[in-house]
């Protein structure tokens, strides 16, 4: 038996719409850093995603020879050695299920999963995304006053005044999406059988502030076979 799913998708390579030899379309484990992810997890926002990738290009001062098709993956490959070095400096703790991320003393976001095994499988890709984010502001001074302890972190999350919407998940469960009233924070979580399977929330810091580009929504189909 086959089950067909329709998955909403967004493009991270604005200027390539045709297959090129040696540059085929394929899956990647590269995660989006928080600013791009902030736009990607919105209900719309294809133009906003492209704007944010362009803003990232400007922030990193990449010249025209780097990722000429505006490929996010090619841009991040340019800093691969630096991100790998950052990721290798972290070690998972016993029973760790996620992280709360601070960059230069500023709270950036949270991602966690229902069990340690899932986190172990996902952690390197997640850490790499936050490493990419850290390199955006590597020259920014450390802000000691903004660092939070565990209790203050929970209080800060409670004070975000999030607006929630929910929808049926593509596969199992229900997806709950949320956004803060000041538009700085956005995230989502998957709930299955009254339990959180995954939780993700990130902040918008700098980047594009004028996402007035024509919005487009893409989707792709996959078939899941049950034996």
Domain ranges for the chain: 2-225
* Residue 159, pLDDT score: 81
pLDDT (tens digit per residue) in 185-204? 999 999 999 999 999 999 99
* Residue 216, pLDDT score: 45
* Residue 12, pLDDT score: 84
Report the interhelical angle of 116-136 vs 46-60 (nearest 10°).
Answer: 60
pLDDT (tens digit per residue) in 209-219? 754 444 444 44
Series of mean pLDDT values for 10-residue runs along the chain (227 residues): 78 71 65 92 82 92 87 91 95 94 87 95 95 87 61 76 90 91 93 93 84 44 39
* Residue 26, pLDDT score: 62
- Contact present, 73 and 37 (Cβ < 8 Å): no
* Residue 223, pLDDT score: 41
CA–CA distance, 50 with 40 (Å, rounded to integer): 10
* Residue 34, pLDDT score: 93
E-strand spans in 59-161?
98-103, 106-113
Residue whose token pair is 């990193």 = 60
β pairing state of 185-192 and 195-203: antiparallel
- Contact present, 82 and 135 (Cβ < 8 Å): yes
Residue whose token pair is 């229900």 = 174
* Residue 215, pLDDT score: 46
* Residue 3, pLDDT score: 77
* Residue 218, pLDDT score: 41
This prediction has a pTM of: 0.81
- Contact present, 33 and 205 (Cβ < 8 Å): no
Phi and psi, residue 135, nearest 5°: -75, -20
CA nearest to 107, candidates 141, 171, 64, 153: 153
- DSSP code of residue 195: E
- DSSP code of residue 146: G
């Amino acid at each position: 038996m086959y089950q067909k799913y329709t998955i909403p998708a967004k493009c991270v390579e604005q200027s390539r719409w045709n297959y090129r030899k040696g540059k085929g379309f394929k899956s990647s484990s590269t995660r989006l850093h928080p600013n791009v992810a902030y736009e990607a997890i919105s209900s719309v926002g294809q133009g906003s995603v492209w704007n944010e990738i362009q803003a990232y290009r400007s922030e990193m001062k990449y010249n025209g020879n780097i990722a000429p098709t505006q490929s996010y993956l090619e841009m991040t490959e340019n800093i691969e050695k630096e991100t790998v070095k950052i990721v290798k400096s972290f070690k998972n703790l016993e029973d760790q299920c996620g992280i709360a991320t601070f960059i230069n003393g500023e709270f950036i976001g949270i991602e966690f999963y229902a069990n340690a095994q899932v986190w172990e499988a996902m952690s390197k890709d997640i850490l790499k995304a936050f490493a990419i984010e850290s390199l955006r502001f590597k020259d920014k001074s450390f802000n000691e006053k903004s660092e939070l302890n565990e209790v203050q972190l929970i209080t800060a999350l409670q004070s975000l005044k999030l607006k929630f919407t929910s929808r049926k998940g593509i596969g199992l469960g229900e997806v709950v999406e949320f956004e803060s009233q000041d538009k700085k924070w956005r995230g989502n979580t998957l709930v299955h059988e009254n339990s959180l399977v995954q939780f993700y929330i990130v902040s918008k810091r700098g980047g594009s502030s004028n996402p007035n580009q024509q919005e487009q929504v893409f989707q792709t189909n996959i078939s899941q076979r049950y034996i």
